[in-house]
Structure 1
Amino acid sequence: MSIEKRTLALTINGKAAGPFEVPVGMPMIDFLHEYLNLTGTHFGCGQGVCHACTVVERRPDGITSEVRTCIFDAHFFHGKSITTIEGHANKDADESLQSLTPVQQAFIKHFAFQCGYCTAGFVAAATVFIDRLQQAPVKRQDLEGAIEDALNDHICRCTGYVRYYEAVREVALNTPGCVVNET
């Protein structure tokens, strides 16, 4: 018996990837690890509950969303554009690190992570959250609730939530257009 394969092509971290012949039903996280050696996206629960495996999907209109790679087949992403944790930082043409994103910088500043296992998922969620705030700012008094809504589903086994929230709050407050102050 042979394993059925289908073609998969997509954009990952701003670069075309594929076409690849990928087994039907292969979870995206396995594709990232086995075909591309992108291992920063972590497998946690395997049921989509912990969100450690979250990546950012960017639609053609620029809208971003979180997608869990442990519960979606790789073929779900055919023709789509995603960013894994390896693609968030700014790099030069030689792929050398130039700078971290404001989210990544804030996570380090606030020592938001301990073991780091959940960090890739939190970076994805925080990035999507900041993108959304830039499209639809919130009032300052509503920011805490908005952060909680954005990060609430992500599980950190080291209980680093407070520091993640502090880091995201800092980025939101320091990014023009994310928060509206009432007068």
Structure 2
Amino acid sequence: MSSPSIRTLPLTLHINGRAQAPVEVPEDMMLVDVLHEYLGLTGTRFGCGQGVCRACTVIVDDEHGPREVRSCITGAHYFNGKRIRTVEGHAKRDDSGKIVELSPVQQAFLDHFSFQCGYCTPGFVNATTVLLERLAKQPIASAQVEETITEALNPHLCRCTGYVRYYQAVKQLVLETPGLVSDRATKRNDAEKAP
């Protein structure tokens, strides 16, 4: 008796600013598995396997993005032709691939000792990156900073319960990055609250 063959389809991805050659992958394979097994990008974590912990989060840059997508529950072929960013794509690298500068988010997490085991960190890095890019387009009032950060990071689970330092790092980064918090947004927010 012969074993059933696994049906594969070609998958073309644009990852971290680089076009990847099409690769034949099983049609039901999740993106996290393609990243790990076919592309050698192991920074995206497989945590719960159910999309709950969000350690597997990647960033999709499309007409709806940037936005977070959970790669452990989203089939790889959903991403066909799309531009995605993984945690490996945030730091600046030299021609040899050596990291020469961390992203502001990565540096803020390092400065605040935000992670313990670090397993959840890639998801938090991607969530924070999406948040900062969103705020760069639509600044918020300073009174909304904590609520906005909580809304962005709450879906992410840290099994070491290191949330406080993640949140502190993101709050400082938001407040110190020019253009993310607007006096105009603060005045508009105050005007809306006035009787």
Return the TM-score normalized by structure 2: 0.90
Matched, 1:29 2:46: no
Deviation at 1:37, TM superposition (A): 1.1
The CA RMSD measured in Å over matched residues stands at 1.2
Q: 2:141 aligned with 1:139, yes or no?
A: yes
User: 2:120 matched to which residue of 1?
Assistant: 118
| 1:62 to partner: Cα distance | 8.9
**Among candidates 81, 85, 88, match of residue 87 of structure 2:** 85
Q: 2:49 aligns with which of 24, 46, 49?
A: 46
In the alignment, the residues of structure 2 paired with residue 72 and residue 35 of structure 1 have an alpha-carbon distance, to the nearest angstrom, of: 16
CA distance in 2, matches of 1:150, 1:49: 14
Cα distance in 1, alignment partners of residues 140 and 32 from structure 2: 33
User: Alignment partner for residue 15 of structure 1, among 12, 15, 18?
Assistant: 18
Distance 1:62 1:100 in 2: 26
SS of the residue 2:151 aligns to: helix
* Residue-by-residue CA offset, 1:32-60 (whole Å, 9 max, x unaligned): 0000111111111111000000011112x
Residue 87 of structure 1 aligns with an amino acid whose one-letter code is G
Q: Secondary structure at the match of 1:138?
A: coil
Q: Note the alpha carbon deviations across 1:62-105, whole angstroms, 9 max, x for none.
A: 93100110000110100001111111101122212110011000
Report the equivalent of 2:181.
179
Higher percent of residues as strand: 1
Greater C-alpha radius of gyration: 2
Alpha-carbon offset, residue 171 of structure 1: 1.2
Identity across matched positions, percent: 55
Instruction: Give SS of 2:24's match.
Output: strand
Q: Distance in 1 between matches of 2:177 and 2:20?
A: 32
State the 4+ residue runs in structure 1 displaced beyond 6 angstroms: none
Cα distance between partner residues in 2 of 1:6 and 1:20: 8
Q: How many residues align?
A: 182
Q: Which runs of 5+ in 2 are unaligned?
A: 188-195
Q: Distance in 2 between matches of 1:84 and 1:16?
A: 14
**In structure 2, C-alpha distance between the alignment counterparts of 1:37 and 1:12, rounded to whole Å:** 12
Q: Which amino acid aligns with 1:3?
A: I
Partner of 1:55: 58
Structure 1 Cα separation of the partners of residues 122 and 178 of structure 2: 24
Per-residue CA deviations over 1:4-30 (Å, capped at 9, x if unaligned) read 110100111111112001101101000
